Structure 1
Amino acid sequence: MRTLYFDCFSGISGDMVIGALIDAGADPVQMEEELKKLNIDEEYNLSWGKVVKNGITSTKFDVILTSKSEQTHEHSHSHGHEHSHEHEHNHSHVLHHHHGSRTYKQIVEAINEANFNESVTNRSLAIFKKIGEAEGHIHGLPLEKVHFHEVGAVDSIIDIIGAAILIDQLGIESVQSSAIPTGSGHIHIDHGIYPVPAPATLEILKGVPIASNDIRFELTTPTGAAIAAVLAERFGSLPAMTVESIGYGAGTKTFENHPNVLRIIIGEIQ
């Protein structure tokens, strides 16, 4: 069985997942074409390239927002462990008009209308649902009332659906993951100063083994947490497998004592 293992020794974020998948041999050009089905491609440009993180060559993936999207929105939660910012925006009912905050319902409609193949659609919807339920739980809102500030931003839509496209493209039949380190300390968001892991991240990781470490930083974002929590069938050490490909996806931040990368290992489990 073709299996993907997330080795999250430095946490996990949406852009690190995509970087690692590209690094392991997935085709980002085909992903870019598929993502056009969402009809929001005038709002972003994608870039990917090799970077060296503490001696490890890895792939850095970025979503660059264009002037067509709202400039006030910071690439926040899914973007490589940067500080989180939440913004209130005017909401419209169509995915490609106003671009700051989008509702859970709009995102679901856009995924369903895009006609991705079944496994891409199902994985994307499941990941968004996980985040939507966590946000709703924290803010005391039913799912249909949840607005995605960070997660509804273009970059997270790309990170989640892009990851589903690349995993499908690689023919992955099952996913496993290490325990997830969240980091510690505090982050500043518009609501004030929050502990790490952020409330949404912690809510998403209910039932998932969390690894402790001393890094005073947000290592795992809600997007990264949801990708792992939804896709991984088991959490633990690397399973016995014949390794076929390995990918390193770079985070934005650089740490002194260890490489800030997500490693994925793809291979056959007998």
Structure 2
Amino acid sequence: MARIAYFDCLSGISGDMTLGALVDLGADVSAIESAVRSMGLPELSMTSEIVKKCGFRAIQAHVNHPPEHAHRHLHHIHEMIDRATEVDTAAKDLAKKIFQEVAVAEAKVHNSTLEKVHFHEVGAIDSIADIVGTAVAFGLLGIETVAASPVPTGTGTITIAHGRVSIPAPATADILRGVPIAPSDIEAELTTPTGAAILKATSQSFGPVPGMTIDAIGYGAGTRDLEGQANVLRVLLGQTTDIASGPAGVEVDRAVVLESNIDDSTPEQLADCADRLFAAGALDVFQIPCTMKKGRAATMLSVIAPPSRVGTLEQIIFQHTSSIGIRRHQVDRHKLIRRSETIETKYGPVRGKVVELPGGGQRLTIEDDDARSLATDHQTTTAAIRYAATESWSRSNQ
């Protein structure tokens, strides 16, 4: 079983909502404060209080610091994270991953580069504290995997550093590419760039509550009050169930299968589409011959997709085939634990993949591209390369 957190984003998500929910789950706010202050922010303080939103109890997280007007670049924030003496390596890596999501989106929106783009709202001390504090809280709570509901963004307009923009703000919208969006007619910014980046960097799947045993529930409050619903983020913390965790020695994750029956695209179009799907992050793409209505020969295009890439991959299918409809369904995947190895042979190094078998033992699969390249260079067969690599690997594991 794995420690799982499920983010129920009925009213969206922001950095302070996330931090409040994690504190409500038991993350020590004083420990988070100490960790964030060790980034070179000795005057910063963090507090939490119990508030009510539409009659429901929640934790409001507060970050207090002297006023500032700094516009930071990504390398400035990395330097702050790196010098934090009370933030462990895992939390530093997660914080950088979250900031990377924001940086990529900001660079695209402003036609800049990761090195040159500067942060406005997300580069402020309170947002930095929310992101690094969230990463620290994940470690304090032992969270290993994350799932989330579809995300509402709200509607209307807001004013940011670059002027008035539609909701979702440009950076938020770009971060949420591939993430399921829940409809909402609430005229407010429900999901901020910080909240979107936290979800994009941590969530392995989006959808209904996964199979889990709930140990605790945390509620994080947003700053505004909404009419008709509580402006809170609910986080369920617990253990994945035995069904979700799979047999011993087998990893489990969730994916989305996209399928479309196509009878009027050429083989060249389908091959081109498959290449584009792989390049955009598809886990697998395959074509199955089938017969459609009126006895027409056709192809069922099937794509196994990470939940976060579904939107992008569907767009590619619609743009690069004649498909007019796509079926989608979520699946659990059971995967053998694997690792990459490089095996030294008399022909040269060969890359391989080693999988752990559930009943014990291991199995080696040689990378075909390496086998072909070495076979060509040494005027021999791929079978000889595979045999040499397998023999060398077996000797080293005796």
Question: Under TM normalisation by the shorter chain, which class is it?
Answer: 0.7 to 0.9
Q: Does 1:164 align with 2:135?
A: yes
Structure 1 unaligned spans of 5+? 71-98
- Which protein is bigger by CA-based radius of gyration? 2
| CA distance in 2 between partners of 1:212 and 1:41 (Å) | 42
Which residue does the alignment assign to 2:230? 259
The structure with higher relative contact order (CA 8 Å, sep 6+) is: 1
Displacement of 1:41 after TM fit?
A: 2.7
Which residue does the alignment assign to 2:22? 21
**SS state at 1:26 partner:** coil
**SS state at 1:122 partner:** helix
| CA distance in 2 between partners of 1:238 and 1:112 (Å) | 35
Q: Which has the higher strand share?
A: 2
Q: Does 1:100 align with 2:70?
A: yes
**SS state at 2:123 partner:** coil
Q: Does 1:64 align with 2:76?
A: no
Which residue does the alignment assign to 1:51? 51
**SS state at 1:243 partner:** strand
Which residue does the alignment assign to 1:249? 220
TM-score relative to the length of structure 2: 0.59
| CA distance in 2 between partners of 1:152 and 1:228 (Å) | 18
Q: 5 Å matches for 1:126-141? A: 126-141=97-112
Q: Deviations over 1:240-269 (max 9, x none)?
A: 111000000000110120000000000100
**SS state at 1:208 partner:** coil
Residue identity over aligned pairs, in percent, reads 46
Q: 1:236 aligns with which of 207, 219, 229?
A: 207
Q: 5 Å matches for 1:112-123? A: 112-115=82-85, 116-123=87-94
Q: 1:110 aligns with which of 59, 80, 83?
A: 80
**SS state at 1:50 partner:** strand
Q: Does 1:179 align with 2:179?
A: no
| CA distance in 2 between partners of 1:101 and 1:234 (Å) | 33
Displacement of 1:119 after TM fit?
A: 1.2
**SS state at 2:195 partner:** helix
Q: CA RMSD in A?
A: 1.1
Letter in 2 for 1:110: M
Structure 2 unaligned spans of 5+? 242-398
| CA distance in 1 between partners of 2:164 and 2:76 (Å) | 29
Displacement of 1:20 after TM fit?
A: 0.4
Q: Which runs of 4+ in 1 moved over 4 A?
A: none
| CA distance in 2 between partners of 1:169 and 1:193 (Å) | 39
Displacement of 1:64 after TM fit?
A: 2.2
